[in-house]
Amino acid sequence: MIYLILSITASLFIFVVFKLLEKFRVNTFQTIVVNYIVAFGFGILTVQKSISFDTIFNSEWFLGSIIVGALFIGLFTLMAWTAQKNGLSVASVASKMSVIIPIIFGVILFRESIGYQKIIGVVLAFIAVYLVSVKSKTKVNFTKNLMLPLLLFLGSGFSDTYINYLQHTSISEENIPLFSSCVFGFAGIIGLSILGVKKLRSQLQLDPKSILGGLLLGLANYASLYYIIKALQSQNMESSTFFTINNVAIVMISTLIGLWVFNEHLTKRNWTGIGLALIAIYLVTFA
């Protein structure tokens, strides 16, 4: 249970940092790149055994860590944009409702049970993502209002599914710190490459404030991944139970933070979407 609480806390802190970046006008992408460098360094410090390139390269999870790293930097950028353009509640619902996707893959790949309750839950999930993403009664601008949450929803779902798959097939408990470090390291390399290209094109203006933002974000980001994997490996915590409690808690608490701290406004349609999101998670997980 302690790992569940710590993963929720770390994930909530990530959303809050993204909103603070907007408030203090800090360069988001540079902060994200610094965050991955910090997370990589912090992860390496926690590895309690000798590290060699051959050990990493020959690990079963090596290719998986590259894929997850690429997903992470893309999803983190999407999450930041969604939180800043659509609001904290929209970003949290879009990313955490993605619990639906690992369950669908579980049915297809692992032949888990399916029934009318799961089907209804999946349908409600997509309706919920739409409702919570539309911020007014005016005509929907697909690119601004729906595209970012939808991409975040799909990407987060695939990422959770793949991490859960790797955790079951190739990541031992002793390798969690090293795997997490490699994920963040590859994400950082991709980010630095993008910044390097911008520098060559004279499109880069360094923001010193991104260093502090990246430090805070990096610690929370590493903790989030580390405690998610630790919780999934706990014998007393099934993945369906973990993802349900984790995602519902983040949706509800981040919504309250958005209302009370950042003065976000939610319409009746948005509240309906949040309600449907919680119902969908419950229906699918406990079907």
Q: Of the given ranges (29-43, 101-115, 134-148, 255-269), which has the lowest mean pLDDT?
A: 134-148
Q: Is the pLDDT of residue 142 over 50?
A: no
User: One-letter amino acid identity for 270?
Assistant: N
Most confident of 56-70, 94-108, 236-250: 56-70
The mean per-residue pLDDT over the stretch 226-249 comes to: 75
Top pLDDT among 85 and 67 is at 67
What whole-number distance in Å separates Cα of residue 35 and Cα of residue 210?
9
Query: Quick one: pLDDT at residue 138?
Result: 45
pLDDT at site 245:
75
pLDDT at position 10 over 80? yes
Assign 241 a pLDDT band (cuts: 50, 70, 90): low
List the structure tokens of 184. 């963040």
pLDDT of residue 79: 84
CA dist., res. 178 & res. 155, Å (int): 24
Tell me the torsion sign for CA atoms 240, 183, 187, 218: positive
In terms of C-beta density within 10 A (0-12 exposed, 13-18 middle, 19 or more buried), how is residue 182 classed?
Answer: buried
CB 279 within 8 A of CB 132: no
Whether the pLDDT of residue 86 is over 70: the answer is yes
Identify the sign of the CA torsion 120, 123, 126, 128: negative
List the single range of 35-39, 106-110, 193-197 with lowest mean pLDDT: 106-110
pLDDT for residue 170 is more than 70: yes
Lowest-pLDDT range of 2-11, 53-62, 70-79, 168-177: 168-177
26-46: average pLDDT: 90
**pTM listed for this prediction:** 0.78
- pLDDT greater than 80 at residue 287: no
14-31 in b/e burial notation, b at 16+ Cβ within 10 A? bbbbbbebeeeebbbbbb
Average pLDDT over all residues of the chain = 82
Q: Which residue shows structure tokens 């049970």?
A: 113
pLDDT of the residue at 112: 62
For residue 33, count CB atoms less than 10 angstroms from its CB and return exposed for 0-12, middle for 13-18, buried for 19 or more. buried
